Structure 1
């Protein structure tokens, strides 16, 4: 790939045989291809969150754990998560985010553009 992009190739990389390159390509395909598939299947090797400081922090904070602003981790592919996030974002952009209706009496107290006093 470096040769095709005309990047600098380290001398150590020139010593790699086709067998080595095939081994690396097979490893990447086997272990990372599932993250890129656009399928709803559960990952065979989901990310290990044990010992992850950020994940532990989120789990220990009740406010962040229940926050609608943070997406929960799911054992799905990146394409599936992206599709789900796009659907949530589209929903947010098409529906007002007000959970409670503003009383009409409150709206009457808001000055209109022609009534603003500076």
Structure 2
């Protein structure tokens, strides 16, 4: 499992190599935003502490989903199931509740940034 700093750094490097400075900003920001959405949703849906939540998230899986489908990918049940190690959470986990929380976190993040609703990749 890799952390938020590493995911942001890798996404920025990928975006820069591919699209220059605008690509670095866009891909790094989207990957980090996706990670934060999943982390907040998981924390809100469980009684786990921050360390337990962070260690349960596969940031690489979140990064690749965001790169392929956009920020909206983190609200998909398949992405959440691949990105979250339920054994690491340390408490009962209702994936429907996590998905619902992820959707509300993504919507809130889109509202804060002044953007449209998160892309579903279509």
Name the TM-score class by shorter chain.
under 0.3
TM-score by length of 1: 0.23
TM-score by length of 2: 0.23
Say which one has the larger Rg. Answer: 1
